[in-house]
């Protein structure tokens, strides 16, 4: 949506990630006794980053398409590495998503009291990295930000988490690092295979055609490397453990944004640079994602821990994202990007309700022990229902448009896969309704629930923002679809065109 | 070929180091000799200050001589005044001068490789001295610093040696003081054991190295018996000519290369010549461990590199396992050693409970990564070889800074908590957050996490090995990186997640702080702005004879 032009000459994209890096440094020097000051710094700057990404979002011109607001500086010219940022229809929705999640996540983190300063420094460092990944168009730069986003997770989960936190943290870090090592091998191969000795992805995608053998060999490590982070079966086991162990805001960021980094990497790096490899390998990955979608949903159905339900629902929903990436047609990729956005917001809302509003008060997440909370905290119940409806793909919510596009896209390419995956729709409905019923309806299980402290303004604000987006995008999806379409069209063209290239 | 007066500026840093070493030992007689601790501390501090100031000045002189700081390299037409005259005289022996092309007497090259080596070693010695300020004082502090300086001088000569006998002497000049330093705490069983073990392994390895050298000499002499122009047959360039003239692989020279690699393999602590290093690293005083694991290793690598590429360029071979290549030459030997080193180093580090031992195995594993850089010589293209050289030196610089920081932090922690087991790290973040963060940064750089410099270093050697055709080794290297992450994260876990036995804050000594902060800034700076130092490193390509 092109509402206005931003003055040129200002590095808008750099400002976005710098606006979160600055408070990291600021908080590090503020004395830790200034607790509220630290919190305010975190919240204000994350709001600033949200505003900046919204400004860019509304100033982007979809009619023109392509990469806009491009910034380029030589970073390590000896190795053909540059500081190259730019936005198009794929990463712009992700930027806005990250802005919303970090802002609401910062609000939700207000009650963190234990080693507060370190918490905020790590949280902001993590989101700086996430912004960086979405902005970077240089493969090396993207990777640097990528690891910056993964590592703080280890400490955030290990120190502030719950339920087997050290195990969860170690497992998550090792899985993600394994993925990134695969990606590194792919990167080095691309660097030398192209003959250009550059990491500039625009140049690589537009001028280089890798040989068929090369793409067949190096597409899988690159794709799997990122797909580990997207939670693709069989590399998904870190994700529910990690989600459950993490503190609330980190779960929000993690399921909401970090897993999207993986899917984004699959699309932006693997599929964009190696379209022929994508053609060859994607049917295989489509089959793997069936496990994600159906098996993830079924496992979610069997869970008793409220957070595990959300964790496995993430596995299932991210499976849908990777599945529609595998469809690799325009409508499928559009569904994928839309689902990344919708699921990010939705799961953020879920974790805010489950982790912060409920668990921090009741200190239990076991379904049989909860019940009747709808009477005690109607706001939380309403939020959960809104998120749940979106998750089930109810028309009028963002999730509907995403899943609608996904199933059409997948149907077009792999009808059988689409039919099997559609099994997940009733299962999703079932586990969401079951959780809603057991937690929020019925009689109040434990009389002490009646005396739970009231929700704070930070929780209200965070919840309302996320719910409004879910409904807003549900009512007016064109705000995103038009944009996403300009982003995915070139990728699809490249994938379709790669078949016709002589010599394959 | 004769030694000229104009050659003196070319070896000025080494001369100054030797003078400093004698000065430190000699000045001790002006101190108050007493056995009480206050007097010992006083004596130890004055020796340390003298060494520190001396090393700092020599570092600055070397830096001016190198012309690496932008603006300090004099142009031909710079007007003369007092300062430019001094600078001009200094730089007449620098790597950019026209005289730097030929090694002095054919034996000592003063090119960019030597210059970068000197800066690494003198810098490392400087940081090490800072770390020793507050360790347990002993009765003979001046010896300690004198030996350290002598060893540094030996390393500088190692990096410049381009002749077998000088190379051997340099190795000994480096090692003998280090034997004594490793066993410096004579009353401590572990330290004595470390010194003894280091000495025994070192002596055997010297023998192996000498044997390799004599085989090489025999080989060269059997091809060209008469020395030309007074050149001796032990010069690397002369050996290079002889080995290049071979039409087919000669078994004698192959054996010689293997012996040389084995002999130097002990210096750089690669598997299977690594057995001494965990025990020695654990037993030696921690600041000395920092020095041993960095400068001494880097010197070994620089000598090995110069020796292999100038003396045996015809035997490079290939480390590729592709069907159209043959797995031969010294690159294949290095690739196999690298493979073993990566696997053994990283796996053996997993079960360690002592941080010093853990870091010892980690530094063994790092040697494996450095070897990967040398494989690039297998590619016939100069652009790939350039990647190899640059990545080697970048890795050594980064590794030196990082490991000095890591062992330095450990020295502080050991001093203040009374031990260097992992359990001594427990809850360090609650007791001294700054120290915990510093140590975490060093550990993460060792693990190769961007944007710290350890990441680019690893990435760069992967690129070098990839271009040599050793894709298989890159894959192994990448997998072992993940394994290594587990034990590095264990250190983070102890510091940040475990609860301490006491929350009493600990205060770190100022000199040690300075050393750690400098190392930390370098680790971050080299990672975020690597282009600056890479520009310098790329000049090594211009070296004569390389």
- The predicted-structure confidence for A26-54, as pLDDT tens digits, reads as follows 998 988 888 889 999 999 999 999 999 99
Chain B: nearest CA to A185, how far in angstroms?
Answer: 7
In this structure, how many other beta carbons lie within 10 angstroms of the beta carbon of residue B270?
A: 31
- The verdict on whether omega for the bond into residue A355 sits within 30 degrees of 0, i.e. cis, is no
Residue A504 pLDDT greater than 70, yes or no: no
Dihedral pair phi/psi, residue A69, rounded to 5°:
55, 35
SS (HEC) of B119-164: HHHHHHHHHHHHHHCCCCCCCCHHHHHHHHHHHHHHHHHHHHECEH
Dihedral of CA B252/B253/B257/B260: which sign?
A: positive
Question: What pLDDT does B484 receive?
Answer: 94
Query: What is the gyration radius of the CA atoms in chain A, in angstroms?
Result: 21
Question: What pLDDT does A499 receive?
Answer: 61
Mutation target to probe the B interface, by most B beta carbons within 10 A, among A76, A120, A132, A159 is A76
Give the separation between CA B532 and CA B509, rounded to whole angstroms. Answer: 32
Among A112, A93, A142, which Cα is nearest to A38's?
Answer: A112
Chain A: nearest CA to B515, how far in angstroms?
Answer: 21
CA-to-CA separations, B463 to A197, B244, B473, in angstroms, rounded: 11, 27, 11
pLDDT band at B41 (very low <50, low <70, confident <90, very high): confident
When the pLDDT of each residue in chain B is averaged and rounded to a whole number, the result is 89
Q: Name chain A contacts of B485, Cβ cutoff 8 Å.
A: 173-174, 177
pLDDT band at B260 (very low <50, low <70, confident <90, very high): very high
Residue A102 pLDDT greater than 50, yes or no: yes
Residue A165 pLDDT greater than 90, yes or no: no
For chain A, list residues whose CB is within 8 angstroms of any CB belonging to chain B. Answer: 74-79, 118, 140, 143-144, 147-148, 151, 154-155, 158-159, 166, 170, 173-174, 177-178, 181-182, 184-185, 188-189, 191-192
Give the separation between CA B65 and CA B53, rounded to whole angstroms. Answer: 18
Chain B: nearest CA to A265, how far in angstroms?
Answer: 17
DSSP, res A74: E
Give B311-336 pLDDT, tens digit per residue: 888 888 888 887 777 788 899 999 99
Q: B58 near B122, Cβ under 8 Å?
A: yes
Question: What pLDDT does A210 receive?
Answer: 85
CA-to-CA separations, A328 to A210, A271, A332, B12, in angstroms, rounded: 19, 9, 6, 66
Question: What pLDDT does B386 receive?
Answer: 87
- For tokens 């705490």, name the residue: B185
Question: End-to-end alpha-carbon separation of chain A, Å?
Answer: 39
At A86, is the secondary structure helix, strand, or coil? strand
Question: What pLDDT does A502 receive?
Answer: 37
Q: Is B326 exposed, middle or buried (0-12, 13-18, 19+ CB in 10 A)?
A: exposed
In A, minimum Cα distance to B498 occurs at A159
Q: Which residues contact A112 (CB under 8 A, 6 or more apart)?
A: A119, A160, A247, A249
pTM metric for this prediction: 0.94
Among B303, B459, B255, B467, which Cα is nearest to B377's?
Answer: B467
* Contact between chains at B486 and A78 (C-beta distance less than 8 A): no
- Of A412-416, B71-75, B350-354, B396-400, which gets the smallest average pLDDT? B71-75
Question: What pLDDT does B543 receive?
Answer: 53
Q: Is B34 exposed, middle or buried (0-12, 13-18, 19+ CB in 10 A)?
A: exposed
DSSP, res B108: B
Angle between helices A35-59 and A12-29 (to 10 degrees): 180
Question: End-to-end alpha-carbon separation of chain B, Å?
Answer: 21
For chain B, list residues whose CB is within 8 angstroms of any CB belonging to chain A. Answer: 390, 429, 433, 444, 449-451, 455-456, 459-460, 462-463, 466-467, 474-475, 478-479, 481-482, 485-486, 489, 492-493, 496-497, 530-531, 534-535, 538
For chain A, domain boundaries: 12-498
Give the separation between CA B424 and CA B416, rounded to whole angstroms. Answer: 10
Residue B466 pLDDT greater than 80, yes or no: yes
Among B236, B256, B230, which Cα is nearest to B330's?
Answer: B256
- Of A160-164, B15-19, B281-285, B409-413, which gets the smallest average pLDDT? A160-164
Question: What pLDDT does B227 receive?
Answer: 59
In B, minimum Cα distance to A189 occurs at B466
Distance of CA B470 to the CA centre of its chain: 25
Give the separation between CA A94 and CA A91, rounded to whole angstroms. Answer: 5
Question: What pLDDT does A35 receive?
Answer: 87
Residue B35 pLDDT greater than 90, yes or no: no
In B, minimum Cα distance to A186 occurs at B475
Residue A212 pLDDT greater than 80, yes or no: yes
Question: What pLDDT does A500 receive?
Answer: 54
Higher pLDDT, residue B244 or B533: B533
Give the separation between CA A354 and CA A307, rounded to whole angstroms. Answer: 7
Question: What pLDDT does B544 receive?
Answer: 43
Vertex B207: Cα angle to B203 and B212 (nearest 5): 145
Give the separation between CA B239 and CA A29, rounded to whole angstroms. Answer: 59
Beta strands A68-76; A81-87: pairing state: antiparallel
Angle between helices B251-267 and B297-311 (to 10 degrees): 160
Mean pLDDT is highest, among A397-411, A488-502, B312-326, for A397-411
DSSP string covering B414-472: HHHHS--BHHHHTTHHHH-HHHHHHHHHHHHHHHT-TTSHHHHHHHHHHHHHHHTT-HH
Among A217, A340, A322, which Cα is nearest to A266's?
Answer: A322
DSSP, res B542: G
Give the separation between CA B294 and CA B457, rounded to whole angstroms. Answer: 15
DSSP string covering A378-391: HHHHHHHHHHHHHH
Mean of pLDDT values over A437-452: 83
The pair of three-digit structure tokens given for residue A255, joined into one six-digit string = 């399921």
What percent of chain B is modeled with pLDDT above 70? 96
When the pLDDT of each residue in chain A is averaged and rounded to a whole number, the result is 90
Q: Which residues contact B490 (CB under 8 A, 6 or more apart)?
A: B422
Q: Name chain A contacts of B462, Cβ cutoff 8 Å.
A: 184, 188
Mean of pLDDT values over A331-353: 93
CA-to-CA separations, A482 to A93, A322, A489, in angstroms, rounded: 11, 21, 11
Give the separation between CA B544 and CA B235, rounded to whole angstroms. Answer: 14
Give A50-80 pLDDT, tens digit per residue: 999 999 999 999 888 889 999 999 999 888 8
Could you list the beta-strand ranges (E) of A78-169.
81-87
Chain A: nearest CA to B449, how far in angstroms?
Answer: 7
CA-to-CA separations, B294 to A167, B255, B270, B348, in angstroms, rounded: 34, 29, 14, 20
At B317, is the secondary structure helix, strand, or coil? coil
- For tokens 């109607």, name the residue: A378
- The verdict on whether omega for the bond into residue A379 sits within 30 degrees of 0, i.e. cis, is no
Give the separation between CA B160 and CA B93, rounded to whole angstroms. Answer: 13
Query: What is the gyration radius of the CA atoms in chain B, in angstroms?
Result: 23
CA-to-CA separations, B478 to A446, B395, B450, in angstroms, rounded: 52, 16, 15
- For tokens 């390299």, name the residue: B73
CB pairs < 8 Å spanning A and B:
75
């Amino acid at each position: 949506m092109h509402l206005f032009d931003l003055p040129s000459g200002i590095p808008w994209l750099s400002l976005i990630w710098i606006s979160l890096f600055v408070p990291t440094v600021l908080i590090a020097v503020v004395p830790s006794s200034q607790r509220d000051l630290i919190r305010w710094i975190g919240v204000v700057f994350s709001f600033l980053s949200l505003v900046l990404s919204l400004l860019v979002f509304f100033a982007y011109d979809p009619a023109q398409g392509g990469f806009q607001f491009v910034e380029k500086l030589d970073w390590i010219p000896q190795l053909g590495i540059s500081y190259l940022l730019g936005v198009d229809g794929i990463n712009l929705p992700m930027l806005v998503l990250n802005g919303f999640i970090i802002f609401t996540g910062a609000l939700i983190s207000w009650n963190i009291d234990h080693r507060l300063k370190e918490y905020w420094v790590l949280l902001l460092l993590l989101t700086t990295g996430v912004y960086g990944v979405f902005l970077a168009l240089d493969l090396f730069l993207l990777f640097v930000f990528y690891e910056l986003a993964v590592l703080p997770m280890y400490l955030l989960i290990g120190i502030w988490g719950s339920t087997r936190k050290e195990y969860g943290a170690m497992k998550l870090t090792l899985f993600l690092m394994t993925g990134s090592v695969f990606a590194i091998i792919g990167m080095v191969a691309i660097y030398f295979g192209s003959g250009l000795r550059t990491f500039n992805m625009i140049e690589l995608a537009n001028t280089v055609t890798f040989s068929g053998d090369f793409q067949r060999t190096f597409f899988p490590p690159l794709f799997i490397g990122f797909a580990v982070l997207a939670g693709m079966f069989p590399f998904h086991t870190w994700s529910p453990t990690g989600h459950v162990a993490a503190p609330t805001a980190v779960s929000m960021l993690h399921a909401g944004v970090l897993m999207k980094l993986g899917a984004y990497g699959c699309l932006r790096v693997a599929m964009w640079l190696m379209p022929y490899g994508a053609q060859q390998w994607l049917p295989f990955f489509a089959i793997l994602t069936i496990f994600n979608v159906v098996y993830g949903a079924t496992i979610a159905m069997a869970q008793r821990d409220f957070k595990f339900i959300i964790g496995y629902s993430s596995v299932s929903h991210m499976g849908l994202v990777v599945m529609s990436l595998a469809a690799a047609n325009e409508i499928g990729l559009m569904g994928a990007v839309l689902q990344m956005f919708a699921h990010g917001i939705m799961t953020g809302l879920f974790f805010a309700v489950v982790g912060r509003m409920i668990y921090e008060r009741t200190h239990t997440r076991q379904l049989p022990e909860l019940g009747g909370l709808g009477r005690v905290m109607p706001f939380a119940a309403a939020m959960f229902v809104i998120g749940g409806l979106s998750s089930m793909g109810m028309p009028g919510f963002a999730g509907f448009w995403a899943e609608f596009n996904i199933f059409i896209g997948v149907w077009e390419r792999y009808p059988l896969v689409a039919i099997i995956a559609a099994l997940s729709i009733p299962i999703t409905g079932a586990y969401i309704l079951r959780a809603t019923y057991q937690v929020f309806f019925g009689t109040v299980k434990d009389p002490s629930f009646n005396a739970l402290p009231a929700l704070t303004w930070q929780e209200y604000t965070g919840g309302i923002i996320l719910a409004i987006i879910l409904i807003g995008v549900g009512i007016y999806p064109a705000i995103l679809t038009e944009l996403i379409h300009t982003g995915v069209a070139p990728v699809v063209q490249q994938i379709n065109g790669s078949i016709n290239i002589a010599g394959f | 070929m004769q030694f000229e007066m104009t050659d003196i500026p070319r070896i000025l840093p080494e001369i100054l180091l030797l003078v400093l070493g004698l000065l430190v030992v000699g000045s001790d007689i002006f101190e108050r000799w007493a056995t009480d601790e206050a007097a010992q501390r006083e004596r130890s501090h004055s020796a340390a200050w003298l060494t520190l100031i001396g090393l700092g000045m020599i570092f600055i002189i070397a830096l001016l001589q190198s012309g690496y700081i932008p603006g300090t390299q004099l142009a031909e037409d710079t007007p003369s005044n007092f300062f430019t005259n001094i600078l001009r005289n200094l730089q007449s022996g620098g790597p950019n001068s026209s005289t730097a092309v030929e090694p002095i007497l054919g034996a000592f090259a003063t090119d960019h490789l030597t210059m970068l080596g000197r800066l690494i070693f003198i810098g490392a010695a400087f940081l090490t001295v800072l770390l020793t300020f507050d360790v347990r004082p002993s009765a003979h502090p001046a010896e300690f610093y004198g030996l350290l300086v002598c060893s540094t001088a030996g390393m500088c000569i190692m990096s410049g040696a381009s002749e077998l006998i000088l190379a051997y002497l340099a190795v000994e000049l480096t090692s003998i003081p280090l034997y004594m330093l490793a066993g410096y705490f004579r009353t401590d069983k572990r330290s004595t054991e470390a010194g003894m073990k280091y000495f025994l392994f070192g002596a055997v390895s010297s023998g192996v190295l000498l044997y390799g050298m004599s085989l090489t000499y025999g080989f060269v002499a059997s091809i060209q018996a008469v020395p030309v122009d007074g050149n001796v047959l032990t010069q690397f360039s002369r050996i290079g000519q002889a080995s290049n003239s071979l039409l087919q692989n000669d078994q004698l020279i192959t054996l010689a290369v293997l012996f040389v690699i084995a002999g130097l393999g002990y210096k750089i602590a690669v598997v299977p010549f690594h057995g001494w290093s965990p025990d020695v690293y654990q037993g030696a005083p921690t600041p000395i461990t920092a020095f041993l694991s960095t400068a001494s290793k880097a010197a070994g690598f620089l000598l090995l590199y110069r020796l292999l590429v100038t003396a045996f360029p015809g035997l490079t071979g290939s480390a590729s396992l592709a069907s159209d290549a043959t797995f031969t030459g010294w690159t294949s030997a290095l690739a196999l050693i690298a493979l073993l080193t990566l696997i053994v180093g990283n796996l053996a580090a997993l079960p360690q409970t002592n941080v010093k031992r853990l870091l010892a195995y980690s530094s063994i594993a790092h040697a494996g990564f450095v070897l990967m850089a040398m494989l690039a010589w297998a590619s016939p293209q100069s652009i790939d070889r350039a990647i190899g050289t640059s990545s080697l030196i970048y890795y050594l610089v980064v590794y030196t800074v990082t490991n000095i920081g890591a062992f330095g932090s450990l020295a502080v922690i050991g001093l203040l908590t009374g031990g260097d087991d992992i359990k001594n790290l427990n809850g360090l973040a609650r007791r001294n957050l700054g120290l915990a963060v510093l140590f975490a940064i060093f550990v993460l750089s060792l693990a190769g996490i961007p944007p710290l410099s350890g990441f680019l270093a690893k990435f760069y050697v992967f690129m070098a090995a990839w271009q040599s055709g050793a894709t298989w080794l890159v894959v192994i290297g990448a997998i072992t990186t993940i394994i290594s992450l587990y034990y590095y994260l264990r250190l983070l876990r102890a510091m940040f997640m475990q609860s301490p036995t006491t929350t009493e804050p600990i205060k770190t000594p100022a000199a040690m702080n300075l050393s750690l902060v400098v190392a930390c800034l370098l680790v971050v700076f080299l990672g975020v702005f690597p282009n600056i130092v890479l520009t310098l490193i790329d000049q090594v390509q211009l070296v004569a004879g390389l």
